[in-house]
Amino acid sequence: MRDELCLAQCSGMSPEASISASFCAAALGVKMLSVDDEIRYVRNGGVAIASQIVGEGEVDLVVVPAYSSNLVYGWMWPRRRAFYERLAHSFRVILFDKRGTGLSDHGGHFAALETRMEDLRAVLDAAGASAPVVLAANEGCGMATLFAATYPERVRALVLFNPVPVDDPSASDPVLEEIADARQRWGTREFSDELLREACPPLYESEEDRRHFLNWLRLSASPEAAYAIIRAFNETDLRDVLPSVRVPTLVMYLPSGETEALEVAARIPSARAIRIPGEGWSGLEVRPGVVEEVERFVAGEELPKVPESVLATLLFTDIVGSTKRAVVLGDRDWRDLLAEHNALVRRELARFRGEERDTAGDGFFATFDGPARAIRAAQAIVASVRPLGLSLRAGVHIGECELHEDKLAGIALTVGARIAAAADAGEVLVSGTVRDLVAGSGLHFDDRGRRELKGVPGSWQLYAAGSDPSDAAPRS
Q: Please choose, from the candidates 221, 295, 285, the residue with its C-alpha nearest in 3D space to the C-alpha of residue 81.
A: 285
pLDDT at 181: 79
Confidence of residue 18 (pLDDT cuts 50, 70, 90): very low
Q: CB within 8 A of 302, min separation 6: which ones?
A: 248
Looking at residue 66, what DSSP letter applies?
A: S
Stretch 71-95: mean pLDDT: 94
What distance in Å separates the CA atoms of residue 224 and residue 340, rounded to the nearest whole number?
44
DSSP 201-246: HHHHT-HHHHHHHHHHHHHH--HHHHHHHHHHHHH---TTTGGG--
Domains and CATH numbers, the chain: 1-36 (no CATH), 41-166+236-299 (3.40.50.1820), 309-471 (3.30.70.1230)
Mean pLDDT of 102-113: 86
Q: Is the CB of residue 30 less than 8 Å from the CB of residue 102?
A: no
DSSP β-bridge partners for residue 63: 95, 135
Q: What is the pLDDT of residues 428-456, one digit of tens each?
A: 999 999 999 998 788 999 999 999 998 88
Neighbours of 173 (CB within 10 A): 9
Residue 253, beta-bridge partner list: 275
Vertex 245 angle, CA 248 and 41, to 5°: 85
Integer-rounded Cα radius of gyration of the chain: 24
Estimate to the nearest angstrom the gap between the alpha carbon of 163 and the chain centroid: 14
Rounded alpha-carbon distances, angstroms, from residue 176 to 191, 230, 281, 319: 16, 10, 19, 41
Check residue 173 and give its pLDDT.
54
Phi and psi of 132, rounded to 5°? -85, 165
Closest CA to 81 of 49, 52, 60, 41: 52
DSSP 304: P
Question: At 297, which amino acid appears?
Answer: F
> For residue 418, what are the CA distances in angstroms to 361, 364, 459?
17, 13, 12
Indicate the average pLDDT of the chain: 86
Residue range 124-166, pLDDT digits in tens = 999 999 999 999 999 999 999 999 999 999 999 999 999 998 7
Summarize the confidence of residues 335-355 as an average pLDDT: 93
304 confidence band (pLDDT: 50, 70, 90) = low
173 compared with 171, residue with greater pLDDT: 173
Q: Which residues contact 209 (CB under 8 A, 6 or more apart)?
A: 79, 196, 203
pLDDT at 475 over 90: no
* Phi (first) and psi of residue 130, to 5 degrees: -80, -35
Instruction: Tell me how far apart the alpha carbons of residues 211 and 206 are, in angstroms, rounded to a whole number.
Output: 9
Q: How confident is the model at residue 179 (pLDDT cuts 50, 70, 90)?
A: confident
DSSP at 35 = T
At 77, is the secondary structure helix, strand, or coil? coil
Band (pLDDT 50/70/90 cuts) for residue 306 is: low
For residue 61, the SS3 value is strand
The contacts found for 210-219 with CB under 8 angstroms, 24 or more apart, are: 211/28, 212/28, 212/30, 212/76, 212/77, 212/78, 212/79, 214/187, 214/189, 215/28, 215/73, 216/70, 216/73, 216/77, 217/68, 217/186, 217/187, 217/191, 217/192, 218/187, 219/70, 219/72, 219/73, 219/102
**Given this model, what pLDDT does residue 8 score?**
41
pLDDT of residue 24: 41
pLDDT at 92 over 90: yes
Residue 28: pLDDT over 60: no
| E-only strand ranges, 26-118 | 40-44, 47-54, 59-64, 91-96
Q: What is the DSSP letter of 402?
A: E
pLDDT band at residue 302 using 50, 70 and 90 as cut-offs: low
Which pLDDT value is given to residue 473? 46
Question: If you average pLDDT over residues 166-192, what whole number do you get?
Answer: 73
Residue 406: predicted pLDDT: 73
Cβ contacts of 177 within 8 Å, gap of 6 or more: none
Give the Cα separation of 352 and 472 in Å (integer).
10
Sign of the torsion angle spanned by Cα atoms 231, 234, 235, 239:
positive
> Is residue 464 predicted with pLDDT exceeding 70?
yes
Q: What is the pLDDT of residue 183?
A: 83
In this model, does residue 312 exceed pLDDT 80? yes
Enclosing H/E stretch for 101: none
Q: Work out the average pLDDT over 48-72.
A: 95
Q: What is the pLDDT of residues 376-421, one digit of tens each?
A: 999 999 999 999 999 999 999 999 998 877 788 999 999 999 999 9
Share of the chain above pLDDT 70, in %: 86
Q: How many residues are there in the chain?
A: 476
Give which of 349, 243, 248 is closest to 301, Cα–Cα: 248
Number of separate helices (H) and strands (E) present in the chain: 18, 16
pLDDT: which is higher, 342 or 107: 342
Separation CA 470–CA 456 (nearest Å): 33
CA dist 377 and 11 (Å) reads 36
- In this prediction, residue 1 carries a pLDDT of 37
**pLDDT value for 280:** 92
Do residues 443 and 475 lie in contact, with contact meaning Cβ atoms separated by under 8 Å?
Answer: no
Whole-number pLDDT of residue 5: 35
Mean predicted confidence (pLDDT) in 2-18: 39
Overall average pLDDT of the 107-130 stretch: 90
Residues 70/102, Cβ–Cβ less than 8 Å: yes
Kindly report whether the global pTM for this prediction surpasses the value 0.95: no
Query: pLDDT at position 167, please?
Result: 57
